[in-house]
Each structure stands twice: as structure tokens, then as C-alpha cells.
Amino acid sequence: MQTSLPVALSAQLAMEKRLNTIADNIANVRTVGFRAEEVKFETFMSQAAKEPVAFASTGEHYISTRTGEMTQTGNTLDMAVNGKAWFALQGANGPIYTRDGRMTMTEAGDLVSMNGEPVLDVGGAPLQVNPNGGAVTIARDGMMSQNGVQIGAVGLFEMPANAKLTRVGTSGVRPDVAAQPVVDFAGTSVMQGFVEGANVNPVLEMTRLIDVQRAFESASNLIQTSEKSLDDAVSSLGSKA
């Protein structure tokens, strides 16, 4: 049984999926709060041939949660999370969690994201500020104040270790299990006047892109060689017959 052809095809399918994620990551390298997408591959052993044959899986997508680069903006309504927590926004189908802390205030005093979703407090309620109450100060635990008066606290939430994240929009995610509010701020804090960039390493992604392209070409050459050897074998057997 000829196994090189199906093995090479499985490798090409896996590399196509990896190529798509790399292209998406590179396209969003300057998107605030964007979380890179990675692919996890596994090897499957087939016992159909005389000897075990290893095939590549098509790959499982997952969203990377590593931290992006922090940039100081000086804007009092810009926030970044120092730690592994997430901000929460009110989405149409439930909370959306994001690392994009660029906020703005409506004329009515509603605190919303750049896309207009209400920013939530730790209890899941939309936050409001006084449009005429002066500058907003945000403490490391998310507590918001105007002229020394506390007006609410920005909610910070942590994802369970077993949570599978699904992308919502460009910089948002939604876990398949409920996120938990942060109560211990020893390793988590809000940085006012900062934003977090994408956690994409452009140099690394370009290196991966080159590696995938070369591997794809090698798999293509293997397929061509396999087809040629099969054609030669058929021709040889046909001439003897």
C-alpha cells in the first residue's frame, strides 16, 4: 500500500489551516487588544499498512492569551490590564470580554467601547459617569472616581483554565464557561492612560509563514514523486501483461 500520498495530503491540509491563521494574525498586528490565533496539531497513527503510518490532524484552533505590548496614551479613558484579566462589554448575546481598553463617554454619561458596547462593572451592570463631573480617575483595582467621589468600578474578569475562547468581532472573545470576577488584585491591576496592542509577534509570524510555504512545497514535491512512481509501476506492469 502506498502511504506517501495520503500522508502528504494530510500535511497540506494542516498547513493550509496554519497559513490562514498566520495571515489573519499579520493582518491584525496593529489592532488594539487583538489576540493571536494559533493551531494545535496532533499525530494520528494508522495501522492499515504493514507498518504504522503517522498522519497529521487538521488542527485545532485556539486563541493565545499572552500579553501584548503596552503603550501610554495619556487619555484618561484608555485602560489596559496588567495581568491575565479581561474587561467586560455588554454584547447582544451576552458579555463580550476584551483586552481593548479604549473607552469613550456618551453625552448621557454612558461608558462605552469604541464600537459602542456598554462597559460593565464587576456585577455585570453598565457603567456611567457624570459628563460634567470632571476628570475620571481609575485606580489599580478599577475603582472610578470624579472629584474624589467614587462612581463605580470597572469589572475585571478571569477565564477558567479550561475555557475555550471563541472570537467575537476583532478584539473580543466569549468563553464556553462563565468568566469569574477578579477579587484578588495582587497580580492584576488596571493601568489608566495605557492601551494594550496585539499580542502578535510580526517577525515570528513572518518566519512561520516562510517555514509553512517551504513545507507546503516539500509536500507538493512528495505528492508529485509519489504519483510518478505509481504511474511508472502501472506502466511497467501493463507492458509485462
What mean pLDDT do residues 84-106 have? 96
What CA–CA distance (Å, rounded) separates 1 from 52?
12
**What sign for the dihedral angle of Cα 17, 22, 23, 25?**
positive
Q: What is the mean pLDDT of the chain?
A: 85
What CA–CA distance (Å, rounded) separates 134 from 119?
19
Query: Out of 52-56, 79-83, 175-179, 210-214, which region has the weakest mean confidence (pLDDT)?
Result: 52-56
Give the model confidence (pLDDT) of 140-153 as tens digits: 999 999 999 999 99
Q: In what order do the strands lie in the sheet with 101-105?
A: 111-113, 101-105, 78-82, 189-192
pLDDT score of 118: 97
Contacts of 189 (CB under 8 A, 6+ apart): 81, 82, 83, 140, 141
Query: Out of 102-106, 108-112, 173-177, 225-229, which region has the weakest mean confidence (pLDDT)?
Result: 225-229
pLDDT level of residue 8 (50, 70, 90 thresholds) = low
What mean pLDDT do residues 108-136 have? 94
Cα distance from N-terminal residue to C-terminal residue, the chain? 21
pLDDT score of 110: 96
Give yes or no for residue 68 having a pLDDT over 60: yes
pLDDT score of 230: 59
Give the model confidence (pLDDT) of 184-222 as tens digits: 999 999 999 999 999 999 999 999 888 887 877 776 666
Give yes or no for residue 45 having a pLDDT over 80: no
pLDDT level of residue 20 (50, 70, 90 thresholds) = confident
Q: Percent of the chain having pLDDT more than 70?
A: 77
pLDDT score of 232: 55
Q: How do the residues of the chain divide into helix, strand and coil, expressed in percent and rounded to 5? A: 25, 35, 40
Give yes or no for residue 108 having a pLDDT over 80: yes
pLDDT score of 66: 93
pLDDT score of 48: 47
Give yes or no for residue 16 having a pLDDT over 70: yes
Extents of the domains making up the chain: 4-64+200-240, 70-196
62 near 86, Cβ under 8 Å?
no
Report the predicted TM-score, pTM, of the whole model to 2 decimal places. 0.80
pLDDT level of residue 101 (50, 70, 90 thresholds) = very high
pLDDT score of 32: 96
Which cell is 87 given?
Answer: 474587561
